[in-house]
Structure 1
Amino acid sequence: MILADKIIEERKKNGWSQEELADKLGVSRQAVSKWESAGSIPDLQRIIQLSELFEVSTDYLLREEITPEYTVPYIDTEVGTSKPIRRVSMEEANDFLDIKRKAAPLVANAVTMCITAPAPMIILAGLAESRKFKITETMSVAIGITFLLLMVAAAVFIFITCGGRASKMEYLEKESFETAYGVTGMVKERKSSYEAVFTRGIAIGVVLCILAVVPLIGIGIMFEEEEYIMVFFVALLLVLVGIGVNLIIRVSTVMDSYNALLQEGDFTESEKRVKEKLKVLPGAYWCIATAIYLGVSFWTGRWDISWIIWPVAGVLFPAVLGAAKLIVKDKG
């Protein structure tokens, strides 16, 4: 048994995560990950520290012919149950990255469909209100809601389909795992080569979302009394925001797949525990937002302005999620 395997074995016996062992040694989690994947070897001082922490001899750690008499299953300290930790092979890692890469444009397009779905209804409602066109309010609402529901239904179909394809690999985003030799190096190399694309996509997407309101402001100044013209640019705002969000999701999905395999960013072990506790929050939040939108729209009949609920809900969601994470972390 090589040193890398012995470090893994002894860490599991003590029920420590890579992050916890790194804290005890005063090194980074990435350093521990490299030791365990045989990507590097700890120096003599660290080997002595490891022997003291694990209560084993340095001979045991360094000499491959010395093996333990038995092994102990990994203990999940969060739930207190015996749970063997998964080891991700190179093939599994590549499959996961391919699934996420193929899903990225599909999910991004589905989100854009949800964002732009109210656009026809907004345009028709504005035309009906202007009374310059032969469109009644009832007709505009009927056509608009039908289109909105069709778009949302198609988007939900895409979400469910993509989720089903990735379900067999979802443990990589939710559970602790170890990587086989060479996996970490491969992922880091691909992540490094993708960072320029990621930065560019985020930058363009954010700029589009910010500038989306500019045409609406300009037209509002020039055609202040022509409200039916304004609704076209409200719809344009949604389209531009949809494109911006599309770009952000495309690159973020791919980058998240790298971070998930490296257990970095939002995929550290502590973050995974927090996400597990908050897994019902996003669904509940958006159900409430949808209920408020439909309730206000049907109650007031102002479908032309009730769309503002969606961008407000979108801006509030990160704040709500962040506050919930802080509360969960404070409670331990």
Structure 2
Amino acid sequence: MSTDYLLKDEIEKEKIDTSCDTDCELHRVTMEEANAYMNEKKKAAPMLANATTLCILSLVPLFLVSTLNDGLAIGIACTILLGMVALAVFIFIKTGIKLSPLQYLEQEPFETEYGVTGLVKEKNQSYQEHYSFSLACGVVLCILSVIPLIIAGCMEASDYVCTLCLAVLLILVSIGVNILIRVSTIKSSYDTLLQEGDYTKKEKLVKKKTETFTGVYWCLVTAVYLGWSLWTKQWDVTYMIWPVAAVLYAAMYGIVRMIMKLEK
């Protein structure tokens, strides 16, 4: 077994963050804890990816029957939607509970015992090529997903054909997102243990302060979407709130972070 990670760990000890004073005691992550965390995240990756895919695909049956003006068909489609979302929520909750004992690694600063950092760096480097390739494939699928809808629009296709193209869009997006979540979940386990990227000590502090904003924002978006859709019955139009909300969220999140920095 390679011992390069032990040598790498020696180098890392020279770069210890001195921002915490000598009286500050941080949890020391053992090799067993690190391996347990990486293994659990690896198991959780397909579960989280599939649950997200269920949420995206849950809209497909509703879109397919939205142009039929058939109350029974729409009712069945809504039932399927709620069933798929319920199953997805069950998976999210079950996976979250399983990961909760080790969730402090993503929320609190910590130190690692000898050899842990080097081991994780070695795993991270060996995973980088697969991660980069899968990330590119997922993003490309999401970009290409709009092509059928654009072609249908240019050809002035019927509403039903456009709805079919919209369903194809959601299917392609669900596949792309599935790939992205699978590899990102595993990659995040390495970043978490290395306290890099979105899991540095500063980022953890920012996340703690902004998690309320994130929760309230998406609850409001969901409420607006459901209210608008149920009021107008135009499910094939109201879905546009999600890409708009995603772009708006990125802008508002950036503003919140900037305000927090100014307050400091």
- Fold match (TM-score > 0.5): yes
Q: How many angstroms does 1:303 deviate by?
A: 1.5
> What amino acid is aligned across from residue 157 of structure 1 in structure 2?
F
Superposition pairs of residues 253-332 of structure 1, within 5 angstroms: 253-332=185-264
Q: Secondary structure at the match of 2:211?
A: coil
Q: Which runs of 5+ in 2 are unaligned?
A: 1-6
SS in 2 for 1:218: helix
- How far does the alpha carbon of each residue in 1:67-94 deviate from its partner, in whole angstroms, 9 at most, with x for none? xxxxx641xxxxxxxxx31000000000
In the superposition, relative to structure 1, how do residues 225 and 203 fare at CA in structure 2: closer, same or farther (>3 Å)?
A: closer
Amino acid in the other structure paired with 1:264 = E
Pairs aligned (count): 253
For structure 1, the residue ranges without an aligned partner over 5 or more in a row are 1-33, 51-71, 75-83, 130-135
Q: Cα–Cα, structure 1 residues 40 and 203, in superposed 2: closer, same or farther, change >3 Å?
A: closer
1:118 aligned to which of 59, 63, 68: 59
User: 1:39·1:181 contact (CA, 8 Å) conserved in 2?
Assistant: no
Question: Using CA pairs below 8 Å that are at least 6 residues apart, which structure has the higher relative contact order?
Answer: 2
Residue aligning to 2:98: 165
The equivalent residue for 2:4 is: none
Specify which of 172, 186, 193 is matched with residue 119 of structure 2: 186
C-alpha separation in 2, matches of 1:170 and 1:40:
24
Give the TM-score normalised by the residue count of structure 1: 0.72
* Structure ranking higher in helix proportion: 2
Alpha carbons of structure 1 residues 39 and 308: separation in structure 2 relative to 1, 3 Å:
same
1:313–1:116: structure 2 CA closer, same or farther, 3 Å change rule?
farther
- Equivalent residues in 2 for 1:1-332, closer than 5 Å: 38-39=10-11, 73-74=23-24, 84-126=25-67, 128-129=68-69, 136=70, 138-222=71-155, 224-332=156-264
Q: Once the 2 structures are TM-superposed, how far is the Cα of residue 299 of structure 1 from its aligned partner? A: 1.3
The CA deviation at 1:330 is 2.3
Once residues 94 and 75 of structure 2 are traced to their aligned partners in structure 1, the CA distance between those partners, rounded to angstroms, is: 29
Structure 1 residue 314, shift from structure 2 partner: 2.7
After TM superposition, the score normalised by the length of structure 2 is 0.90
* Structure of greater Rg: 1
Distance in 1, matches of 2:103 and 2:216, equals 21
